[in-house]
Amino acid sequence: MNSKSQTVLSDTDAYSTNDAGVRAELSEIDASIRTASIFFTVSSVLWLLIGSVFAIIAAIKMHHPDFLGGDAWTTFGRMRSAHLNAMALGWGNNVIFAVGLWIMARLCRSPIRHGGLLLIAGLFWNFGLTLGLAGIIFGDMTSVEWLEIPHYATPLLAFSYLLVGVWGIMAFHFRKGAHVYVSQWYILAALFWFPWLYAIAQIMIIWFPARGVVQSVTNWWFAHNVLGLWLTPMALATAYYLIPKVLGRPIYSYYLSVLGFWSLALFYNWAGVHHLIGGPIPVWLISAGIVASVMMVVPVVVVGINHHMSVVGLHRAVWRSPALRFVVFGSISYTLASFVGSAMALRSVNEITHFTHLTVGHAHHGVYAFFTMIMFGGIYYMLPRLLKREWPSATLIRVHFWGSAIGITIMLVALHVAGWLQGVQMKDASIPFLEIVQMTLPWLKARSVSGLFLTVAHIAFAVNIFWMLFAAGSFRARTAPTLLSKNDGEAFAK
């Protein structure tokens, strides 16, 4: 490390573009990562659409089981698993690579090296995932939740991941400037945690299976930590970068953001066993998981206060920014979903909610209302800067926002209500099971309707992106560009 990084810098002069030896211009950094980020963005959107189709099929089958009946490959079990993997690994990982690595590059203040490595990683990732999903659909699924992809595809994913991880470490190592912003902490930590989780889960469940319930514990340690140590940190990194960046005002309390990061790192990884409350595993293990799940209130409240206080007084600017509409929706959802989750971990609540639709609703609260909405915001901010073009259609952005917001709200209400009623009624032995199933049907139909809203939103998003990518030249900024020139009406030069 050079001697500059030994000093604690007391002002932001080192980040001025005047000092070219210290940091590069944002536009230069953006240009260096452009190809990789666009590749990952396009991949993520395609998987989002594919995952939405699987979702709708699975959702309809829950109230009309004969829908698309007659073929093994459209059965609920396969469609649901295909949906989960297409969304988590297809949409989720690709959008993380697109937005998270871009934020990392910008904060490392240096044009990236070895962008080719990222492209190779992306090709392997998508190929491995396609192979894996085909395997699931045509009957080779492993039957382990969140690890359904058959063994012939997982090494491709692992290799791809290795390339991304190595790239991330190198980008961090060659960064300029002394400060490590909280988003870089989250991204680096997530890049470190994910391969660890994936490798151990694959080893202990699939390749050299551990005995009996140890597999279950490993399974839920893995699956929950994909949410908590991969999706969550990446989304929080994006929110911590975008909220202050768009508003032009530093985060309310940087101290709280550091506290939030370290407390998340301490508590989140124990919580996974709350998926097995009541199961045949040691009670002390379950209790440890419940304690950690409740202690998560600490980082969640910290993040909530930080984000809320950062936008106080600037709500209009939030509403008028496409990126922040999505990001702030996501941040608020993070707080709500986490409180619901901490409550669900309590044994008395879990007695009702376990094995019901409420768990599914909660999962979508986290992965969609929190993670996905924030990453949508990330793409709305990033893509114009990479392409040096404006979004072609404000209407499509609004359709996307309202479709997603209304859709996920309907889904969450339907599943939480259905799940709670289901749980309460199942504890009453006098109510026949079939009656309880019939009670859930209207709520499940509402969920399918919500899926239509979401799919329309996703289509609007995809159309806007492809329009922007391919209709080059027709959508230079017309009135005031959102970002690319400093004066009203000035066309940007490049």
Partner 1 sequence: MDVENYQDLMPIILLGIVFFISALGMFYWSSKRGQLRDFDSQAKTIFTDEEPEGVVSDQFPDEKR
CB 381 within 8 Å of CB 326 = no
Contacts 24+ apart (CB under 8 A), 285-292: 285/217, 289/345, 290/345, 290/346, 290/347, 292/267, 292/268
With vertex at residue 466, the alpha carbon angle to CA 42 and CA 102, rounded to the nearest 5 degrees, is 40
Q: Which of 43/263 has CB closer to partner 1? A: 263
**Which of 79, 105, 107, 358 contacts partner 1 by CB under 8 A?**
107
User: Is 10 in a helix, a strand, or coil?
Assistant: coil
**491 contributes a contact to partner 1 by CB under 8 A:** no
Q: Residue 187: how many CB atoms within 10 A of its CB?
A: 28
d(CA 475, CA 468): 7
Which among 179, 181, 153 is positioned nearest to 238, based on CA atoms? 181
**283 contributes a contact to partner 1 by CB under 8 A:** no
**431 contributes a contact to partner 1 by CB under 8 A:** no
- Binding mask 174-203 vs partner 1 (x if CB under 8 A, - otherwise)? ---xxxxx---x----------x---x---
C-alpha Rg value of the chain to the nearest Å:
23
**244 contributes a contact to partner 1 by CB under 8 A:** yes
Phi, psi of 485 (to 5 degrees): -140, 155
Q: Which of 89/383 has CB closer to partner 1? A: 383
**392 contributes a contact to partner 1 by CB under 8 A:** yes
**291 contributes a contact to partner 1 by CB under 8 A:** no
Task: For residue 425, give every residue at least 6 positions away whose Cβ sits within 8 Å of its Cβ, in sequence order, or none.
Answer: 431, 435, 436, 439
Contact region with partner 1 (CB under 8 A), list: 17-25, 220-228, 297-305, 450-458: 17-25
**Which of 101, 105, 163, 251 contacts partner 1 by CB under 8 A?**
251
Task: For residue 212, give every residue at least 6 positions away whose Cβ sits within 8 Å of its Cβ, in sequence order, or none.
Answer: none
Give the interface size with partner 1 as a residue count (CB under 8 A): 66
- Tokens 């400060």 correspond to what residue? 179
**25 contributes a contact to partner 1 by CB under 8 A:** yes
**Which of 249, 301, 339, 346 contacts partner 1 by CB under 8 A?**
249
Least CB distance to partner 1 at residue 13 (A): 10
d(CA 165, CA 187): 10
Q: Which of 268/443 has CB closer to partner 1? A: 268
**470 contributes a contact to partner 1 by CB under 8 A:** no
d(CA 263, CA 383): 32
CB 39 within 8 Å of CB 97 = no
**413 contributes a contact to partner 1 by CB under 8 A:** no
Q: Which two tokens stand for residue 95?
A: 């959008």
d(CA 419, CA 13): 55
Least CB distance to partner 1 at residue 287 (A): 20
Least CB distance to partner 1 at residue 123 (A): 30
Contact region with partner 1 (CB under 8 A), list: 231-239, 357-365, 366-374, 391-399: 391-399
Q: Which of 40/241 has CB closer to partner 1? A: 241
Least CB distance to partner 1 at residue 331 (A): 16
Least CB distance to partner 1 at residue 176 (A): 11
The footprint of partner 1 (CB under 8 A) covers 5, 8-12, 15-18, 23, 25-27, 107, 177-181, 185, 196, 200, 204, 208-211, 214, 241, 244-251, 253-255, 258, 262, 265, 317, 320-324, 380-381, 390-394, 397, 477-483, 488
